[in-house]
Structure 1
């Protein structure tokens, strides 16, 4: 039965501010639908729902009745020098219209060249030329979907010597030119900082947190490169690392209770394990919300 606030056939508007959510995996569907208010929201990869119908859409529509849904693109190839794929953008727009997601996001990366599609999100040289075509692509996406797009910072394993900007400066300039928002993936910050030998705290101090509309948390794998140096892989196949939780706590203290997703895309655990990770993020958000409320109360009493 449709909800009373969905009588016109549209999905109900549900807030995500101050909420923590989880990736929607179909292996968890029965457990999710068996209860209510399991987590604050669910996020899906757009490319998994670009068919016209079938079981994936039926399942997502059921979840969308009771939860906010966030739409996260992984194949738009915002950073590629060639034009965006018009058919892909049209399908993306259709999904935005169909499910009315609370947040829409994509990656600062490229994954296509001509008619070749790579199964990875590849890094960019941070140059003026790259900046121009990234901004043009973001403008194109935002015009198509009629709303603000959040752009996710990448996890990287190499850096281009030709770059004219550092990553935070490049991202800040994108926001200035396009008006887009940002998705801050804290695990990506930690992975890149470890791989390149810079300070994650310094990176976050220079990141334009005032434009962040969503946070991602995820697990990573620890490996070594050919010289025996630490190499982290953004694998999304395990729990969030302690160091990432500490960085998350710092970000929430500085930036406020931003909607937060726990991603888990490989070696999918049972639902209670993923839910516990989302609950841990919610506990951080709730603790800082309570502290902020106390500060406001004390200031008003003075």
Structure 2
């Protein structure tokens, strides 16, 4: 199936992009890497009159440190997340998640901002952003605002971005001493959507873990913070009893969907297995 006819404009700035959107009376779609938008057009899930290309906007590029935060431009490619030294140091869950995303051809073109704005509940980068307690920089005609990841992901394919707004950058708190991360997923084949995934960040402090942050994905309509599992680990040594307590606590955190091919009970079981695996990786890194 081919997409319906549409006009195309390549915006030179965020202001230009928002102006083009307004002039199209909202009958427009923004595109960065295109790996989410183009398939939806081909399937006639979207039929905008105008496509606005954001790829030439300089303000959406660049990776740098600012006032205790790592600012990552929304146009940063998946492949960059695997190789950039600042991301490796200060946003390591993006680096850890990137190899699990699809295949090299897609990683070379797809963008972090596009993945986060698309908000696929089975996607790796939204969960990584949630676990790192990232904040998302959104531009609108009224100015710029930053939204914590916990408030950014609203529902399946729905975020805090309002019509006509543009995701400009991702802000991740700079790494602190003792910080550890681990990431993994269970999929039928490498590059497939995850059946369940987990991103974990914590700080090793003395005899126990602090600042534990766990995000699970492909377990609901958005990435899910495993708050009870976090509590089960906080202040404890990362040993077998602590890991078992965190696994058991997932029953309070997750309410996975039920379907005949993949029952909710199976998804919860896989989530527990995977969390144990990821925490064992974290223990090795400690």
Same fold (TM over 0.5): no
Structure having the larger proportion of residues in helix: 1
Please report the TM-score for the alignment, with normalisation by the length of structure 2. 0.25
Higher share in strand: 2
Q: TM-score, normalised by structure 1?
A: 0.24
